[in-house]
Structure 1
């Protein structure tokens, strides 16, 4: 037998200094699932609000010591109760200035005595349904956030645990050619190393994504030279098809503070994209501009052209058509993590692409990220 789901009753607060009015409201509004909290004064109402969550408050305006307007201002002044809908009940005049004061105090509606019982029941029903929908959406949001946290935790654990077997595979592939002179073994070992390196890049991207989504991505700042970082990354690409295809120029002061590991990954991604998608016979141009006092700008340009539909999704995660790897081999996270790493420093990445100028990615980084983030 399944356990019955127990739902807490929904509270409706009624504030009136006349006991007969409280009794009439209780008789009119009480139904299964609703509980009326009755208060004979503003002070008593505030005490009830301290210990109860309320879906709606019906407040009489004319009360001694603290009238309904003053009570409404106190309710609106508290973070815990300011979202409670307030309906004023009054036997006073219908002058516009009087009504305006009620709405200014935070009322969502104004009803004049003698109150139309059918209208009051209908209004209460609407606000109760809105309250139920709000609670349901809040519960769904909590469950979604919990699922996202578990998903990010699973991604981080999976990425971390894959590193050990990957390192074994890569080390084994390096040792294979040393154990035999057979040419097929060398070719197979090279393919294993290439695939393992690509998988290691995917694992690193998964770990970066987990860090970004969890908010644990804090740059470790240290003095660096952006021109030197560009040349170090270019040296990694020199050789093979990328031989002599990267031209680096620098003007102004290229010094600044940054997390060199993050920035190196950004530059590696931008250069890898430029080499992969640019025309094979054309060089990739890297320009480091340190002329501005507060920032350093790095542009990476090639003669390739990005189709217009892809520009809109270029920095979104899991977009294979926008990633640096062809045929869906990557995870589609390269440019996404590059942008997030730049933003973690207070920087930004922009892109322009057309047939006349080719494609230019521009990385703008503050010289002192702490000042940029504080601003």
Structure 2
């Protein structure tokens, strides 16, 4: 883009053997070309007649879909012009008279960058498509498994009542427990999807945190009894906060189930409730294997590293810890993991902080 025909002809002669060159004598011609032609690199004279090259550069960069490199061509080598060009978004500069070899190298470099940007954009779009497909598949699986699983649980419960043989009753009880865990995992997956998409209405009402903890403890009491573990609750001070009671109970259940599975049989699981920065903190502590510091940041992620998942696979159940993180965020809180004095791990859920 240059208002001097000689300069345009010279640039065309340099580039045309290897590239398609579109000429524009002014800003209006440039706008028309950019709107109708696939342009990969813009060569823009900073001193256009009747237009400010810096302003035209700023306009081009603001309207470009993706990365469109702009090389400002100027006969002025002063720092002020270069600074103004950079502030307008220019990617590089060429000084008149334009050197043929330098022009070819600069254009080739920006064409490579432009192609890499396109490749990355296509890869991102493909990953987004696959991620959406994965979410749809998960939703389909969860919905289609819930009904048959409910029938299995109901049948096992009836069978357990009717069996007289203690060994058979114990086998059915084990099957009930496994099916119950599967149901919990499916419910977690469904809640995660709904919270991520904003499809779950979070009903906030003033509720006692201690009451939510006790409801969660009652729900996991059977799992604790199986491992001869005591659930010990210490309430420093109960706090009433706007809560979605069911969601908070589910989050605390997930923390408790992880602690139960990680603690050795016979070891108590400690639960502590106290105030925290205008909200409340629920701490669940176990005596299991400590989580290496380098893995702690990833245990609450939806897709943590493989190493993190291998080392702490027993601590979370499916998307359990990720659900805890989403529930915390829905209540203006956070969740974190810390080493416990004397061995083990403390998971800290802050609500309303």
Shorter-chain TM-score tier:
0.7 to 0.9
In the other structure, the counterpart of 2:230 is 245
**Structure 1 gaps, min length 5:** 1-14, 368-375
CA deviations on 1:261-283 (whole Å, 9 max, x unpaired) are: 22111111112223333354443
Question: How far apart are the structure 1 equivalents of 2:64 and 2:76?
Answer: 32
In the other structure, the counterpart of 2:259 is 274
Question: How far apart are the structure 2 equivalents of 1:147 and 1:322?
Answer: 27
Go from structure 1 to structure 2 and tell me whether the alpha carbon gap of 1:219 and 1:62 turns closer, same or farther (over 3 Å shift). Answer: same
In the other structure, the counterpart of 2:68 is 84
* Equivalences for residues 58-77 of structure 1 within 5 A: 58-76=43-61
Match 1:222 to one of 193, 201, 205: 205
Secondary structure in structure 1 of the residue aligned to 2:346: strand
Match 2:346 to one of 349, 360, 365: 360
Question: How far apart are the structure 2 equivalents of 1:180 and 1:235?
Answer: 26
CA deviations on 1:104-144 (whole Å, 9 max, x unpaired) are: 44333322222212221221121112111111111111011
CA deviations on 1:80-121 (whole Å, 9 max, x unpaired) are: 36943222223x344444444444443333222222122212
Bigger drift between 161-170 and 343-352 goes to 343-352
In the other structure, the counterpart of 1:254 is 239
Following TM superposition, by how much is the alpha carbon of 1:72 offset from its aligned partner in structure 2, in angstroms? Answer: 2.0
Contact kept in structure 2, 1:223 and 1:255, CA below 8 Å: yes
Go from structure 1 to structure 2 and tell me whether the alpha carbon gap of 1:219 and 1:61 turns closer, same or farther (over 3 Å shift). Answer: same
Contact kept in structure 1, 2:205 and 2:244, CA below 8 Å: yes
In the other structure, the counterpart of 1:296 is 280
Question: How far apart are the structure 2 equivalents of 1:99 and 1:273?
Answer: 59
> Aligned-residue CA RMSD in angstroms?
2.9
In the other structure, the counterpart of 2:173 is 190
Match 1:336 to one of 308, 322, 336: 322
* Equivalences for residues 64-143 of structure 1 within 5 A: 64-76=49-61, 78-80=62-64, 83-90=67-74, 92-143=75-126
Length-normalised TM-score, structure 1: 0.80
Go from structure 1 to structure 2 and tell me whether the alpha carbon gap of 1:228 and 1:199 turns closer, same or farther (over 3 Å shift). Answer: same
Structure 1 or 2: more strand by fraction? 1
Contact kept in structure 2, 1:28 and 1:121, CA below 8 Å: yes
Contact kept in structure 2, 1:56 and 1:124, CA below 8 Å: yes
In the other structure, the counterpart of 1:3 is none
Following TM superposition, by how much is the alpha carbon of 1:253 offset from its aligned partner in structure 2, in angstroms? Answer: 4.5
Question: How far apart are the structure 2 equivalents of 1:356 and 1:68?
Answer: 68
Contact kept in structure 2, 1:297 and 1:363, CA below 8 Å: yes
Matched positions, count = 345
In the alignment, does 2:250 pair up with 1:265? yes
Secondary structure in structure 2 of the residue aligned to 1:55: coil
In the other structure, the counterpart of 1:26 is 12
Go from structure 1 to structure 2 and tell me whether the alpha carbon gap of 1:198 and 1:120 turns closer, same or farther (over 3 Å shift). Answer: same
Question: How far apart are the structure 2 equivalents of 1:177 and 1:107?
Answer: 75
Contact kept in structure 2, 1:217 and 1:344, CA below 8 Å: no
Bigger RCO of structures 1 and 2 (CA < 8 A, at least 6 apart): 2
Go from structure 1 to structure 2 and tell me whether the alpha carbon gap of 1:85 and 1:271 turns closer, same or farther (over 3 Å shift). Answer: same
Match 2:145 to one of 162, 181, 192: 162
Go from structure 1 to structure 2 and tell me whether the alpha carbon gap of 1:52 and 1:284 turns closer, same or farther (over 3 Å shift). Answer: same
Go from structure 1 to structure 2 and tell me whether the alpha carbon gap of 1:150 and 1:31 turns closer, same or farther (over 3 Å shift). Answer: farther
Bigger drift between 333-342 and 20-29 goes to 20-29
Go from structure 1 to structure 2 and tell me whether the alpha carbon gap of 1:105 and 1:231 turns closer, same or farther (over 3 Å shift). Answer: closer
Bigger drift between 339-348 and 273-282 goes to 273-282
Contact kept in structure 2, 1:323 and 1:333, CA below 8 Å: no
Bigger drift between 273-282 and 143-152 goes to 273-282
Question: How far apart are the structure 1 equivalents of 2:28 and 2:66?
Answer: 17
Contact kept in structure 1, 2:202 and 2:244, CA below 8 Å: yes
In the other structure, the counterpart of 1:174 is 157
